[in-house]
Every structure is written in C-alpha cells, then in structure tokens.
Amino acid sequence: MPWNERTIKLRILRLIQPSTLSCVMEVEVLAISSRTKHAKHSILKLFDWRYATQLRQDYRVGQWTLYNEETYRAFVEGGDAAKFVSALEDDNSIDDQPWDTARNEAFLFDYCRDLHSCEVEAYNLLKDLQGKNVPQFFADVRFNAFPTQNTFFEVRGTLLELITGYSLADLAKYAHQSSWQRICDEAIHTVNLISDHGILNEDVKPRNVLIRTHDKDSEYEVVIIDFAQCRFREMDQSEAVWKHEKWRQDEEGAIGFAVVPFPVYVYKM
C-alpha cells in the first residue's frame, strides 16, 4: 500500500514474536501492482505504536485499551495532537508536567513515524545491497487504523523479502563450529559494507544478523535486518568525525560481544 500509488492485498500467515519496536508478520501477497517487486511470501513490518510491546514497556505506557483509543482519538480530532507533536520538536515548548494518556499515545505515534522514516531512508541508501546483504525492499506500506483520513491515525510499515535461515544468536545451534569464524567475519564485513553507504546502525545485534541457508550445508549468506535505529552521515561530516562516531558505536563489537562470551577467571585466595 505505498502512499497515493498502489494497493496491496495481504494475508497474515503468522506473527513473529516478540513485538519490539514494530510488529513483524510473515504474509502472503494476494494482489499487487505488476510494477511492484514482490515475493509470494514476504515480511510485513508495521511500526504500529498501539501494539509495539517493547516500546510501550520502555516508556511505561501500558497496553493499548479501548480507553486509550477513545482518549487518543478525541485528542487527535480536537487538533491537540498536531500541536503537541509539533511542540515535541522544540523541547522548550513542552512543560515538565507528567503526560496524560493522550499525550503518551501521541508521543509513541510520532516515535514510530520516525522509526519508519529512518528504515525507509536506510533501504533507499542500500539499493545496491538489497537481495544480497540486506533484504529486498518491496514497498512503503501505509494505512489508517481508523476510518478517517487524519494522518495521526496512520500506521506505516515496510514490505520486505522473507529471509529463510537462522539468526547469528543461534549460530552454535545450527552451524558447525568449523564455520563460525567465517560466518562472523562475513557478518562484520557486511556491517562495514553498510557503513560505506553512510549508515551508522545503532541496533546491530546477533538476532538482527540472519544466516540465509541454501540447499548445500556449506553455502550461506549473511543478511542484516532492522534499520529503524540508524544515524546517517551528514554531507559535510569529515572522514575523521565519521570514523570516530563509528568507533564509539562499535557495531563490529556488538556482534562479537554477544557471540563470543567473556572468559570467567576464578582466583584462589
């Protein structure tokens, strides 16, 4: 359902848990414009503030309920949500009083919109790596959660290639130990390929590194997913400053830290 262009009809096959900052589903594409690249089975990733479990837990908002819906809808339809989100861009415009339910929901809505924009921008920068080092990006998905055209009810998402295989977090479970080093080296190489496109990924972790398997056990490809929490290199940013930012984030270390545990030393007194 790209904005103002085409309609996509999907059937949800399964919900991939846990829902963190987005809701991820395996879907079957039932109908789509012939101009849009797609696969029969794909991944639908929705940045839906209502059901992003981890996001709501992180900000201690609680579950989305009928009360939350009614309160937020009244906040939006009265024009207050637009004013509040605009004020979020200017910290001085927000008072220090605790937010009520409506403001919490508006904040999460705006946060999810930023996550979606970040992911779409990252995939646009990574066009030459799509289908190889990162999933193929099929469509920018948008629909309204309620029967209205108000954009503050809009849920945004992405339709992506489904990667079959396992995550780097399960490396020891699915891959022979003799291949661990090669796979980890390839994961680090892929991180650096993405970095060469002016992207600093703040969400690199083993579960976001997928090992695409083929018919032969010896064949594999490393695919990195999830780009909603990225920073992008500014046009006038020097190489030295960019390298320093990359060093501080340590994306390579984020892979190795979780894959290779620290040794534990026991000292006898």
- Please state the rounded mean pLDDT for residues 243-251: 81
Peptide bond into 18 cis (omega under 30): yes
CB 178 within 8 A of CB 136: no
CB 20 within 8 A of CB 49: no
Any residues with CB less than 8 A from the CB of 194 and at least 6 apart, and which?
Answer: 126, 129, 133, 134, 201, 224
Q: What pTM did the predictor assign? A: 0.86
Largest CA distance in the chain: 72
Q: Which residues pair with 211 in a beta bridge?
A: 166, 222
Q: Which residues pair with 110 in a beta bridge?
A: none
| Encoded tokens for 65 | 């309920």
Residues 250-268 have pLDDT tens digits of 787 777 655 555 444 445 5
Residues 188-229 have pLDDT tens digits of 999 999 999 999 999 888 889 999 877 655 578 999 999 999
